[in-house]
Structure 1
Amino acid sequence: MKTHLKTNFGPHQPNPANNSKIRFAVVALLTLSSAIALPSCGAPPPGSTSGENPAAAGSTNRFASSRSSEKQVVASAPQSAPAPISKPANADAKVAADTAKKTAAESPATAPQLIKKAELSLVVKSIDSSTKSVTDIVKKQRGDILAFQNQKPPDSSVRQTATVQIRVPQEKLETTLDALAKLGSVENRGLTAEDVSEQLVDSEARLRNLRKSEEVVLKIMDRSGSVGDVLKASEQLSNIRESIERIDAQLKSLRNQVAYSTISLTLEAAVSAQQDPEPSLGLRAQETWGKATHSVSELTLGLFASAIWLLAYSPYFLVIGAATYGVIRFKKQHSVPKISEPKPPMTVDS
């Protein structure tokens, strides 16, 4: 594709002031024509003017000479530094947001919900003093003692032991174990954890669904309908609320177990338990005499108290006795004596 520009110039005197204007117009026209022309259009080889008008060829040569002079002027001018490319104002904010999203995607959403249980066995010098120290440690760590058992063994060859069930906040678990371990020699120390994150999430989702169902049933009950529909909705509402209360109780129990950890502490004495010495014969005889005299005094007081009770109720006893005697006497006086029939005479056979 070729672009031809044809201009006619009449005879005129050259004017220095108009030359610069003409050069600027020529440069603008050439720039516009090069931008409009397609890249596939090739330029004719230099010196090839076949098929062209001689006047057009001459004008083209003049335009080319003017453009070359303009290029020389531009080349001789000092080159200015290119202007820096300005970034959009929100580019940094967008990069920061993308970085934050990537970090949040890589990191876990929530921490795992764990139920922790610990076991600790200690050998101590004294069970009683160690028990007091355990109580002080638990109070300091804002915990509670759930159970305590201390039994002396029947045999002196067996060591005395005590068991303590402790509950402390989960964040205080390691600190409490370290403090308890300092009371004696550690024989056993263990820790178990159960992840209940899925149970909590599932229970919370079920609870939300049940609450939405409760709202729907309440809206249905508000509408006018038959008595049977209202009764069915009421029964369904009762079942939903029962399920809500049950799941809510399970959630509270799980959260409480997560918030507080339990410690099973076993204390064992370093030496075997010492049995109390058996009392002597004289001490036993003295205890027996004291028990016997106490029994006699108790019997005497009991008989004296019985006599007082009998004396207090004696009028009633006299009335009852007199009535009984009168009834018996009356029966004897009015009783009919029995008549004995005569026996037939005995005959002797000769």
Structure 2
Amino acid sequence: MYTATKLPRTSALFISALLGGVIFTSCASSDRLANNALPPMAADGRANTVSAPASQSSLSQNAETSPIARSRPQLIKKAAISLTVNSVDKTVDAVSQIINQQQGDLIGLKQQQPKKDNPRYTATIQLRIPENRLEPTLEELAKLGTVNTRNITAEDVGDRLVDFQARLTNLQKTEANLQKIMDRAGSIRDVLSVSQELSNVRQTIEQIDAQLKNLKNQVAYSTITLNLEAAVSSTSPQPALGLQVQETWNNSTHSLSAFSVGLLKLGIWLIVYSPYLLIFVALIYGFSRWRRTHSPRLTQTPGSTTSE
């Protein structure tokens, strides 16, 4: 019983001691940096400020002689250009050659044939070019036709890159410390606990590393969206004479069959409603005969006289 309870306490104390050592080391390093930043002390305990002007003058001289190095901005550039060309197909082939010359990649290609609402032949091309070859590529593309629109947008992601890099460095240090603790842990419970924490840290490292690589890739390669439009609306060629004759024959036979079917349907309707039609015709005929029989004579023959 005594040995069963003593082992977890010993391992817990051992892990606490290791973590305390890591914290103490970091605090000692920060104190050392702070002490190095303080001015030297004199024998009476006061700060020695005599050498301060000399040091400040030397720093100012160094600042004047050496220019301040500025970090290069990390920009994600995207460009869009619209051209009016004589032939869309030939321009697409020329764009493929430009991509190969500029060491770029073709991301997407969409061609749209002429329609009733848009009689012009259009195409949209997306390409990815190294960042240092963006301007030369745009100049080469502008030579393929008449430029309608052209714009470039840039997004500075330098702060995000620094943040991701700092987080990645800290997580890697935490991973190394956890690995040391795991190697020295005694009980199975402590090993499993440290292993779970190590797995979470490694998963976070992989996610941040993937985001960092994605940002660097977007900075290194710029995206260009190229819209092409034919200068003259293209018309579809006329079909051959045989196709026209065949189409006319098919349309005429279809019309004849439709007319015949219509007459047949009309005859069926007349047969079905023939009793009502006969009754209606008989009524009209009887009314006309009755009107002729009972209508008075409105005109008389000339020279006729009435007798009493």
TM bin, normalised by shorter chain, reads: 0.5 to 0.7
Equivalence for 1:225: 186
Q: Which of the numbers 86, 103, 109 marks the counterpart of 1:148?
A: 109
User: Equivalent residues in 2 for 1:259-298 (5 A)?
Assistant: 259-280=220-241, 285=246
Q: One-letter code of the match for 1:136?
A: Q
User: Equivalent residues in 2 for 1:122-161 (5 A)?
Assistant: 122-155=83-116, 158-161=119-122
In structure 2, list runs of 5 or more residues that go unmatched: 1-57, 250-308
User: Equivalent residues in 2 for 1:108-127 (5 A)?
Assistant: 108=70, 110-127=71-88
For 1:99 and 1:154, the matched residues in 2 are separated by 68
Equivalence for 2:64: 99
For 1:183 and 1:154, the matched residues in 2 are separated by 24
RMSD: 2.4
Name the structure, 1 or 2, with higher relative contact order (CA <8 Å, separation 6+): 2
Equivalence for 2:270: none
Q: Which of the numbers 131, 145, 159 marks the counterpart of 1:170?
A: 131
For 2:236 and 2:118, the matched residues in 1 are separated by 10
Residue 168 of structure 1 aligns to a residue whose secondary structure is: strand
- Residue 100 of structure 1: CA displacement? 3.7
Q: Which deviations, in whole Å up to 9, do the C-alpha atoms of 1:61-112 show, x marking residues without a partner?
A: xxxxxxxxxxxxxxxxxxxxxxxxxxxxxxxx998744344x22xx42x101
Equivalence for 1:181: 142
Percent of residue pairs bearing the same amino acid type: 48
Structure number with bigger Rg: 1
Q: Which deviations, in whole Å up to 9, do the C-alpha atoms of 1:155-210 show, x marking residues without a partner?
A: 28621100100110000000000110011100000000011000000000000000
- Residue 133 of structure 1: CA displacement? 1.0
CA contact (8 A) 1:151 1:162 kept: yes
1:94–1:253 Cα change, 3 Å? closer
For 1:147 and 1:256, the matched residues in 2 are separated by 18
For 2:96 and 2:194, the matched residues in 1 are separated by 54
Structure 1 stretches of at least 4 aligned residues deviating more than 6 Å after TM superposition? 93-96
In structure 1, list runs of 5 or more residues that go unmatched: 1-92, 289-350
Q: One-letter code of the match for 2:164?
A: S
For 1:115 and 1:168, the matched residues in 2 are separated by 12
Say whether 1:208 aligns with 2:173: no
For 2:166 and 2:135, the matched residues in 1 are separated by 33
Across the two proteins, how many residue pairs are aligned to each other? 192
More helix by share: 2
For 2:102 and 2:76, the matched residues in 1 are separated by 18
